[in-house]
Amino acid sequence: MMLPIIFVMPLIQLLILVQAATFEMKHIRMHLIDLDRSSTSRELISKFQGSPFYEITNFSFSEKEGEEDLKKSNADIIFQIPKNFEKDLKTNKKAKVQLVINAINSAAAGVINAYTISIISDYNRQIIYEWNNAPLNFQASSINVNYSYWFNPELNYTNFMVPGILVLLVTLIGALLSGMNIVREKEIGTIEQINVTPIKKYQFIIGKLLPFWFIALFELGFGLTIGKLLFNIPIVGSLWLLFGFAAVYLIVVLSIGLLISTINNTQQQSMFVTFFFMIVFILLSGLFTPVESMPDWAQKVDIINPVAYFIKVMRMILLKGSGFYDIRKEFISISIYALVILSFAVWRYRKTA
Amino acid sequence: MLYALSPVQIIEVKNLFKKFGSFTANDDLTFDVKQGEIFGFLGANGAGKTTAIKILCGLSKPTSGEVKVAGFDVYTQTENIKKNIGYMSQKFSLYEDLTVTENIRFYAGIYGISRKEIKERTNILVEKLHLESVKDTLIKSLPLGWKQKLAFSVAIFHEPKIVFLDEPTSGVDPITRRQFWEMIYEAANNDMTVFVTTHYLDEAEYCNRVSIMVDGRIDALDSPKNLKEKYNAENMNEVFLKLARK
């Protein structure tokens, strides 16, 4: 019963989460209101038609109809070109367009906004050149920002998400298995038989930890294989280094689980406490939102967040090919963490009934 | 039954108190158990037997009083005590998802018995308990009587000085109970001290000495024969009823 849970669950999670947990926007549905109907406005519209990200699902000549579409969720964005757009542009050298974006999902709205503005300003630059008869390499007195994305050049979200989700899977499996374990023995009474033996506390904790450690490491290998085969994620750095870090990281996670398990008396309590810590750790880990954009206090909490360390290191090794020297700080931190929390778990385990 | 009490006191308890808040589970217990004897620890449910046995096994600490088991102090030397005792709890507590031989190997391993010796003695034990056909079966599928006999055998596998049995025969059929007591006698003949709690008063007759607990206190402590004379009773059941009604 436990075996399928341990292996099928992460497989399905990996398949589903990676597809779902993405900020990549495709098929942005646009409601178009072109009140100008000039050649300039049509040319601007054609830029959107040519983009793979946009789909012009409807057009009309009234703002009302556009808003209706937005309310019914038939459109993500209303793009309105006012009357006299071309004329204003030519005579006043200035014209306005209006964007109305559905911001229920604020992250998605931000992305749509950025995409749309970049298409408009591209077109803007183009007409400056054309109307001034300037050559295309003409340096207008505007700042030309040049983007290039390193280590993940296509801004591929799968490459970004898979390493993080792998961390999540290994962490959840490890923390839950260990968090439920000792407390389960308390419930069924077998712990009492162990506690009357002269077994040493460290022997008991290590005996509890090792099986889960192997399972979790195996799970990581399993997940990486799936990631490589199904999503073709890059593995630039050394797998030895990755597993070396994972081995230490798992001691931290499993010790936290065992610690929770020694403190609580029922599996229910233990599960709630484990989930509490896991959710805090995961939300602050930088899996979905970059740690750098979190408030100061959250970044400080991340000093004791093992998940944040592993996600960072996982991405560094897999995507960037970082070596031991690059991750030495994280390695030292996680090693100290492992030592402290493991000792604490051993200390907290009581051989009393 | 004729026997000579060994002069060695393997368990010494003086003025033992155990309190849980305002509730006194063990109220001023004083008794000794001598090496090699079968000591019956009787009392109704809730009389404080299990509380006392847990203290003697080093699983819980007394509130006050002096307790020594196998020469070691229960406040400071619990791990030494644990090396010298075996324990079978009221609730069956071997690993149900391990087989018969795996359970034996696991517990014997904790006491540091060599692999070779474990293997040899496991074979002898399995044969003695007539468990050959189920030795590789998960324990959860065995009947209760077999489980109890196995639990006892595992508790004494490392040949401890004292074995504590907390209601070992509750819920077991009369034939198995009889066999169980034969195993207890065999252990006692090998100079093992047996400390057994029960609420079956016919079983009290099998003990060398019994103590009877009522509401956390020991109200009587002597051999079954002397107790019956003292309380002018036919059997231990009558002794117990007379004490409980006091």
pLDDT in tens, B24-58: 999 999 999 999 999 999 988 888 898 999 999 99
Residues of B in contact with A197 (CB under 8 A): 82, 107, 110-111
**C-alpha neighbours within 13 Å on the C-beta side of residue B94:** 30
- For the packed helices A328-348 and A239-263, what is the interaxial angle rounded to 10 degrees? 30
Query: In angstroms, what separates the C-alpha of B60 from chain A's closest C-alpha?
Result: 6
Tokens of A104: 């229920």
For residue B202, the model assigns a pLDDT of 86
Alpha helix locations (H) across B47-173?
49-56, 78-84, 100-110, 115-128, 144-155
ipTM reported for the complex, 2 dp: 0.88
Residues of A in contact with B92 (CB under 8 A): 189
For residue A145, the model assigns a pLDDT of 45
Run of H or E including B24: strand B23-34
| Cross-chain residue pair B93–A197, CB shorter than 8 Å | no
- End-to-end CA distance of chain A: give it in Å, rounded: 30
Q: Which of A243, A180, A251 is nearest to A217 (CA)?
A: A243
For residue A22, the model assigns a pLDDT of 60
What is A20-131's CATH number? 3.40.1710.10
For residue A62, the model assigns a pLDDT of 86
Best mutation target among A185, A196, A199, A202 (most B Cβ atoms within 10 Å) is A196
Q: Hey, where are the domains in chain B? A: 9-94+162-245
The B-side interface with A (CB below 8 A) comprises: 54, 57-61, 78-79, 82-83, 85-87, 89, 91-96, 107, 110-111
Residues of B in contact with A3 (CB under 8 A): none
Residue A139 CA to residue A144 CA, distance in Å, equals 9
Q: Whose structure tokens read 């296509």?
A: A154
In b/e form, how buried is each residue of B5-15, taking b as 16+ CB within 10 angstroms? eeeeebbebee
Residue A269 CA to residue A303 CA, distance in Å, equals 26
The A-side interface with B (CB below 8 A) comprises: 188-190, 192-199, 351-353
Q: Hey, where are the domains in chain A? A: 20-131, 154-348
Show pLDDT as tens, one digit a residue, over chain B (246 residues).
445 556 789 999 999 999 999 999 999 999 999 999 999 999 888 888 989 999 999 999 999 999 999 999 999 999 999 999 999 988 888 999 999 999 999 999 999 999 999 999 999 999 999 999 999 999 999 998 899 999 999 999 999 999 999 999 888 888 989 999 999 999 999 999 999 998 888 888 999 999 999 888 998 999 999 999 999 988 888 888 888 776
Q: Which of A75, A39, A40, A43 is nearest to A60 (CA)?
A: A75
Best mutation target among B50, B51, B79 (most A Cβ atoms within 10 Å) is B79
Tokens of B134: 């189920």
Residue B159 CA to residue B155 CA, distance in Å, equals 8
Show pLDDT as tens, one digit a residue, over chain A (353 residues).
677 777 787 788 788 877 766 666 678 889 999 998 888 888 888 888 888 788 888 888 888 888 888 888 888 888 888 888 888 888 877 788 888 888 777 667 777 888 888 888 888 888 877 777 655 554 443 444 444 445 555 556 778 788 888 999 899 989 999 999 999 999 998 999 999 999 999 999 999 999 999 999 999 999 999 889 988 888 999 999 999 999 999 999 999 999 999 999 999 999 999 999 999 999 999 887 778 778 889 888 899 999 999 999 999 999 889 999 999 999 999 999 999 999 999 999 998 86
Query: In angstroms, what separates the C-alpha of A196 from chain B's closest C-alpha?
Result: 6
Residues counted in chain A: 353
For residue B5, the model assigns a pLDDT of 57
For residue B79, the model assigns a pLDDT of 92
Query: In angstroms, what separates the C-alpha of B95 from chain A's closest C-alpha?
Result: 7
Domain B9-94+162-245: CATH superfamily is P-loop containing nucleotide triphosphate hydrolases (3.40.50.300)
Q: Which of A113, A114, A158 is nearest to A20 (CA)?
A: A158
Contacts 24+ apart (CB under 8 A), A229-236: A230/A14, A230/A15, A231/A18, A231/A158, A231/A159, A231/A162, A233/A158, A233/A159, A233/A162, A233/A163, A233/A318, A234/A159, A234/A318, A234/A319, A235/A318, A236/A317, A236/A318, A236/A319, A236/A320, A236/A321
Residues of A in contact with B85 (CB under 8 A): 196
| Cross-chain residue pair A195–B59, CB shorter than 8 Å | yes
What distances in angstroms separate CA A124 from CA A43, A96, A97, A128, one per listed residue? 11, 12, 12, 6
Residues of B in contact with A196 (CB under 8 A): 57-59, 82, 85-87
pLDDT in tens, A208-249: 999 999 999 999 999 999 889 988 888 999 999 999 999 999
Tell me the pairing of strands B38-43 and B23-34: unpaired
Residues of A in contact with B93 (CB under 8 A): 188-190, 192-193
